[in-house]
Structure 1
Amino acid sequence: ISLIFANADDDLSSSIRVPLQREGQRITVAVWGEEARGIDQGDGVAEWLSRHLEVPGARLIKSVDKEEFLRCLPPKKGGREGDGIDFQDGFPLLLLSRASASQLISHVPIAVGRCMDYRRFRPNILLDGCPAYTEEKYSTVEFEREDLGFSLDLTRPCSRCTVPSVDPDTGIMDTTTKEPFPTLFNLRRGDAIIGSCHPRHEAFLGSHRKKVFLGVNAVPRLVDGDGASTPVLRVGAVLYVIRASKKDKSVEAREPTVARIDQLIVYPIKSAAGVQVDHSEVTWKGLKHDRSYCIVVPVEESQQGARGEYRALSQAKTPRMSLIHPSLPSSEGITLSFMEDVEQPLTIRVPLLTDSRRITIVLWGNTAMGIDQGDPVAEWLSGHLGIPGTRLLKSVDDDELTRSLAVARDTAEAHGLDFHYIRPLDVLSRASAYQLISRVPVDVGRRMDCRRFRSNIILDGCPPFAEEKYATLQFQDHPSLSIDLDRLCDRCSIPSVDPDTGVMDTKTKEPYPTLLKYRRGSLIKDTCHPRHRQFITKHDKSVFMAVHATPRFAEGASSCPVVVRVGDVVHFV
């Protein structure tokens, strides 16, 4: 085996090649109170480990063959006669779904959680394409390819110690916040999850109510044969989770059409930071206050005329806009904070002006009109963005000017937009975001989260990209409201902007290269709902993430608005 001590300072990194020692000294050790035996691998690696770990006397041992010594898996842990393990904590395998890790991390305070990924939980098998915590709701994993010859017995949820608090890239344990342990304790205690797990786990969880759990310990089971051949498992293998019988083979047949609202985000100013809310009114224009303000600058003289005298700014050209954090607007106005220094944000209160100059601009080919909000905020914006002539506009009422919603299908409805792109809403599932981010090189991707994609509604509890496979979202508790999932959202360079620093990654340009590799139109057109295929076929070189959407009210304007909340259950139709 070869070992590398990967110090953050490459100059301090070192490696060692360790030849396999089969005849070395036998050493007996205790692993979680159980006896295990190993073969010492020599003084060279022992000295190397002692130096780098700063632990005198450290040694490396290799497990012995089970004919020499068998560390048995106890029956209380699902073991059967002949079942053996090496130096595992107690089970041969640990399974975790990417959605479970992502959902847990999403609840960690963002300053800490944005540096976390699934590696904190050290799974052997990372599952994708299933809802969060699927692995703890079922008893068995079977594989689509029967010739693999084995299944996995999902024995019990994995209790967690402090290891997930260690940053795997720095080797430093977070002794200040201790995250993610506080979040695990808040959300994943035994007494909190006992009712949502498979019945086989109830007794164990009931006796460990104050412990915290994530992932499932598992034991492989040969399905048939005498075990003469060793099964080989590959990345990409399709599996089913089984509750009770082999007839019940597909979670996807039962569960993927249901999700819940995990986050609601309002963006009061187009291309500025969002405001996370726990509830919001939904109108024909989307979430209340969303994109109701816009930052503009004068256009060049050669471009003036029919297109108006001002153009809207966006993060694509002005990434520092992400540092502008607005409050939710009120009838009194709006407050802006420039968060370049989070310890000392620079703030301005902007009283609402309704009778000042009207300014006409063009957004994505449509005329829009806004009310100028005065010189003080204009000077404040110009100073912080470094762009002379910047103004802040507030949208006008529909009776003054309606920016028409570009209709994708035949409809008699004609409702307006404020300063949105082409639809009032943007819908994204957390599983989609984290599946994409997981494919970004880890040194870049670990700083990314859902905010890169600036969606209004973040869904959880559904498989990745469920939002693009269906036509409509229906609310379980709001029968008068549905959301048309109109068109996939084509992506520009804005996701390459770090929302915490206001800096665009012009070096790697991530996540755009990853989007180009996995989310190009030509790659996904056959996996989407048929309504999207014509558009995607026309734009097969573009990249897509999330879905543009439009609210629909069953009883007309009389049922508008509807208040939706985080936690609301939605059904894909």
Structure 2
Amino acid sequence: MHITQLNVYPVKSLRGISLQQAALGVRGLAFDRHWMIVDDVGRFVTQRQMPAMARITVTLGADRLILEHPDAEPLRIELSRDDQPRLTAYVWESACQALDEGIEAKTWLAGVLGDWRGSGLRLVRFATEERRAVEPYYLQGEEAHIAFADGYPFLIATEASLAALNRTLQAKGLEALPMNRFRPNIVVAGTDAFAEDGWDSLGTADGRYRMGLRKPCQRCKITTVDQARGTIAVPGEPLQTLIEMKTQPRRPGAYFGQNATLLEGAGQTIAVGDALGA
């Protein structure tokens, strides 16, 4: 097995960045879900509510986070700042301290996205000292924490599982989908379809790093959003097809990929092409 894709999503629910290598941390790949868009009360807003968020391109420069959209000049945010006003941000049931990136970012978001049900939108950054713990139920003795990710530091998917899904979609007369519909961090080739659902861990043979696969990823409406256009061409797909495929026979719902934690290797470099073993 080997890695074919590495993807980081610095701003939750905006477009991802494809990488050749990345630094591993206990919260995931460096800068993954380090920023988030929230409404006026601090509640997170994603493509579930605003599919057009997929049209915002994200770049990590040497000292700036850069957001770009066809209808606006780029927004540049300093990477090293930590003196911004604080607010409480909410991700699902979690409440955590965040740094408000200010009026320039708020105005920029209003210009490219508008508002959400009458509420303005703000860009916030995860506070460096904040610790948002991963739910302990599925962990196996390790401790794990995250920034603004939904629940786990890493999402792992395989090329074979996507190929199996696409064969089923095409048999129904639907178009094959790219991997970016599922927004994984790590994509692996050289496996059977859905082999990842049986792995306890995944890492390099030399022990440089190892991840624990802890929970199947139940998929949501974001998988229906075209990540290039920010639109939904076929409502309900591929969710309905994943349900029909019963990729998790004992769990109702649509599942694709595995949520994972870092067991060993904080500070190590993970790269496309790395050979892995389960």
In the TM superposition, residue 499 of structure 1 has moved relative to its aligned partner by 0.6
The match for 2:18 is: 276
1:99 is matched with which residue?
none
* 3-state secondary structure, aligned to 2:213: strand
Q: Give me the TM-score of the superposition, normalised by structure 2.
A: 0.91
Once residues 444 and 314 of structure 1 are traced to their aligned partners in structure 2, the CA distance between those partners, rounded to angstroms, is 26
The alpha-carbon distance between structure 1 residues 319 and 430, as it changes in their structure 2 partners (threshold 3 A), is same
Q: Is the 8 A contact 1:284 1:415 kept in 2?
A: yes
Q: Could you say which residue in structure 1 is the equivalent of 2:209?
A: 481
**CA distance, structure 2, for counterparts of residue 328 and residue 519 of structure 1:** 38
**What are the superposed Cα offsets for residues 256-301 of structure 1, whole Å, 9 maximum, x if unpaired?**
xxx1000000011101111000000111111111111101112xxx
Matched, 1:469 2:198: yes
Does the CA-based 8 Å contact 2:197-2:258 persist in structure 1?
A: yes
Partner of 1:372: 100
1:463 deviates by 1.2
Partner of 1:334: 65
The residue aligned with 1:545 is 256
**Offset at residue 508 of structure 1 (A):** 4.1
Tell me the TM-score normalised to structure 1 length.
0.46
**1:422 alignment partner, SS class:** coil
Structure 2 spans left out of the alignment, 5+ residues: none
| Partner of residue 163, structure 2 | 434
Q: State whether residues 271 and 315 of structure 1, in contact with CA within 8 Å, keep that contact through their aligned partners in structure 2.
A: yes
What is the RMSD of the two structures over their aligned residues, measured on CA atoms?
Answer: 1.9
- How many percent of aligned residue pairs carry the same amino acid? 27
Q: State how far apart, in whole Å, the 2-side matches of 1:439 and 1:382 are.
A: 40
Q: Which amino acid aligns with 1:426?
A: L
Which of 29, 32, 42 is 1:290 aligned to? 32
**CA-CA distance at 1:416 after TM superposition:** 2.5
Say if 1:339 and 1:439 are closer, same or farther in 2 by CA, change over 3 A: farther
1:363 counterpart residue number: 91
Deviations 1:497-546 (A, max 9, x none): 001110123x542111211211364xx34xxxxxxxxxxxxxx3221100
Deviation at 1:339, TM superposition (A): 4.6
Higher RCO by CA contacts (8 Å cutoff, separation 6 or greater): 2
8 Å contact kept, 1:262–1:460: yes
8 A Cα contact 2:36 2:148, kept in partner: yes
- Taking the aligned partners of 2:26 and 2:37, their CA distance within structure 1 comes to 23
Q: 2:126 aligns with which of 389, 395, 408?
A: 395
SS in structure 2 of the partner of residue 368 of structure 1: strand
Specify which structure has the higher proportion of helix.
1
Rounded to whole Å, the distance in 2 between the matches of 1:317 and 1:283 is 29
**Secondary structure of the residue that 1:270 maps to in structure 2?**
coil
Contact 1:434–1:449 (CA<8 Å) still a contact in 2?
A: no
Summarize the Cα distance change of 1:496–1:422 in structure 2 as closer, same or farther, 3 Å threshold.
same
Deviations 1:39-67 (A, max 9, x none): xxxxxxxxxxxxxxxxxxxxxxxxxxxxx
How far apart, in 1, do the equivalents of 2:140 and 2:3 lie? 29
Tell me the residue number matched to 1:500.
228
Whole-Å Cα distance in 2 between the matches of residues 409 and 377 of structure 1?
Answer: 37
Deviations 1:528-566 (A, max 9, x none): xxxxxxxxxxxx32211000000112xxxxx52110110
CA deviation digits over 1:191-229, x for unaligned, max 9?
xxxxxxxxxxxxxxxxxxxxxxxxxxxxxxxxxxxxxxx
Whole-angstrom distance in 1 between the partners of 2:274 and 2:85: 41
Task: Tell me what 2:236 maps to.
Answer: 509
Cα separation, 2, equivalents of 1:415 and 1:510: 32
Q: 1:568 aligns with which of 246, 271, 274?
A: 274
Q: Paired residue for 1:386?
A: 114
* Matched AA of 2:121: T
Q: Matched residues in 2 for 1:481 and 1:415: separation? A: 15
Distance 1:329 1:268 in 2: 12
Q: Deviations over 1:400-451 (max 9, x none)?
A: x21112122352x4442110111100000011012112211475423x2100
**How much has 1:346 moved relative to structure 2?**
4.4
Greater CA radius of gyration, 1 or 2? 1
For 2:154, give the aligned amino acid. L
Distance 1:292 1:281 in 2: 14
Given the alignment, which residue of 121, 130, 134 partners 1:405? 134
User: Per the alignment, in what secondary structure is the counterpart of residue 377 of structure 1?
Assistant: helix
Query: What is the alpha-carbon distance in structure 2 between the residues aligned to residue 473 and residue 339 of structure 1?
Result: 39
Give the letter aligned to residue 202 of structure 2: L
Whole-angstrom distance in 1 between the partners of 2:145 and 2:216: 20
Cα distance in 1 between the residues matched to 2:34 and 2:186: 17
- Which residue identity lines up with residue 283 of structure 1 in the other structure? G
Note if contact 2:144-2:262 (Cα within 8 Å) is conserved in structure 1: no
Equivalent position to 2:152, from 410, 423, 440: 423
Q: Is the 8 A contact 1:520 1:542 kept in 2?
A: no
State the AA in 2 paired with 1:316: R
Structure 1 position 349 matched with structure 2 position 76: yes
